[in-house]
Structure 1
Amino acid sequence: MPHSPSPEPPPSPGYRGRFAPSPTGDLHFGSLLAAFGSWLLARHQGGEWWVRIEDLDPPREVAGAADRQLQALSAFGLHADGPVVRQSARTACYQAALQRLLESGHAFECHCTRAELAAHAGIHRECVGRAHRDLPAIRFRVPDGASLAFEDGIQGSQAQRVDIEAGDFVLRRADGLWAYQLAVVVDDAAQGITDVVRGADLLDSTPRQILLQRALGLPLPRYAHLPLVRDEAGRKLSKSSSAWPVDPTTPAAGLRAAWHALGQHADALPAAGGVDTVLSAARAAFDPTRIPRRLRHPIV
């Protein structure tokens, strides 16, 4: 049975970026850094900046967090140029893409449990499941020897042996929830995203997403991964007790702190003034070449 054609993405300018938070908590400084950094890069290129809510994991979501994140972005003067998309409303799009991958042989049913894969360090290279599952996971078939290299706009040259380091990765979980890797690829293409700017914690996901883009015949965006914000113990801020929400009542101060973390000249921003004044100065003075690969100091 032939599948229906994929909808054409909206026409995009030379540059269309996005910020895509998960509603697992309020906006913290690491999120603000990613939002502001992606916004600055988009504006520097004369492009658009969109927002997408990645609400695909209800058990981990915090009630009302998505709306508070959007309100915080607005308080910081970071307004989307297109409609805000919520992944929870896009199940049919993910199902259509999954069906294409199953029909082409790029995806397969997997009845393995995590416990069964533990002996293989959690890396799937062959099905070892001993029992049939009524709702199996669906995985992407990574070829033996699959190696993928790409140039990151901030982190530089990257390479990964996807079969060894990631293995056959999940597209739809055994609990029926959609995996991040599939949803983000489908949505970036559907929204005409040309440049993916996000935190460096997602750097090792990029090769898997490029494999998916190729298998689905989707355009490949450019990638740039911003330095990851960590606490004094070296933990990702979103996993840390230091992940207090940013204060939307003092947005100019938060923007100045993020500007400094992005390696920009501190004296380029006015010491006083509101959000519009700070953002205008930031757009004029922003230098992408100053963004560090890593932050020198933890955020506490």
Structure 2
Amino acid sequence: MDRRQVSSDEVRRILSDHDRWMQTNHESGRQADFTNCDLRGFDFCSSNEIHPFHSMIFRGADLSGVSMERLHFKDCDFTDAQLSNANISDVTFESCNFLNAKILQTTMSVCRINQCDLQNTMLGKSKFNQCRFSDNVFREANLNHVWLEKNCHLEGNRFLAVNPVCADFSTSVFTDNKFLNVAFIQCTFDEATFKKCDFTHSGFLDSYIEKCHFRQSDLQNRFMQVQFIPDNGDTIHLACDLGLRTIISRDVIDDKPSMRIDDFMKEISATRVSSEAQRALKDILITMGKTFQEACDKYRKSNDNIR
């Protein structure tokens, strides 16, 4: 699609008319409408205080590669917009529509995304640093290879038919989120926390959850997690998905995220050892494996009784 080229002077004039439109309760000036505009050359960085961008239209606009700082977007329409490869810092998006928007390989730092509609939004390979997501709806959004780093917080969001692949949610805190028909596939959750979350028809496939924390969640009883320090070794983390009867551990399993518990026991039992330390570790893993097997059996019987 060909986008209309606009100069920096024209953008400033449109924004000035919009400010007057807002200040006069729509009696003077004009609403900013950047539909299908090419805005890649405009500097969206506010030099001092947070600048409001309220009730603006960016449908189909190209903002790829832009830098944004200290802005507050509220009630803005980003349907079909392009924000890929952007650098966005200290920006709030509130009650905005991102239907079909492309936000690929973008970096967001210390941003707040509140009450936004992210239906079919493409966020793949984007990085989020110390961001907060509150009361948003992620419906069929693409979260493949996203990276949430340095304690991102997600509270009160709804994730519907979302299947992140190879995403890294380490250190993130999920509170009171609802996951419906969601599958986390080969994702990483080191020191992440799920608290008061609902996982209806959702789960984790080949994901690293051995260092994840489940609190007051309907999945906290599905995973059994242990850690121990062998003699002259580093801490080893293991988890068992009791429903799928699989072991998850990067510290023990090579080349794959998980292994069936029975296969795990066969492989550990057949492992040859050449030192007392290796023998002690093997004995511990066999004991852990037997404990996991018993827990899997109890979990299956418990769920059979519920059904």
Structure 2 length normalisation: TM-score?
A: 0.22
Which structure carries more relative contact order (alpha carbon 8 Å, separation 6+)?
1
User: Over alpha carbons, which structure has the higher Rg?
Assistant: 2
More helix by share: 1
Structure 1 length normalisation: TM-score?
A: 0.22
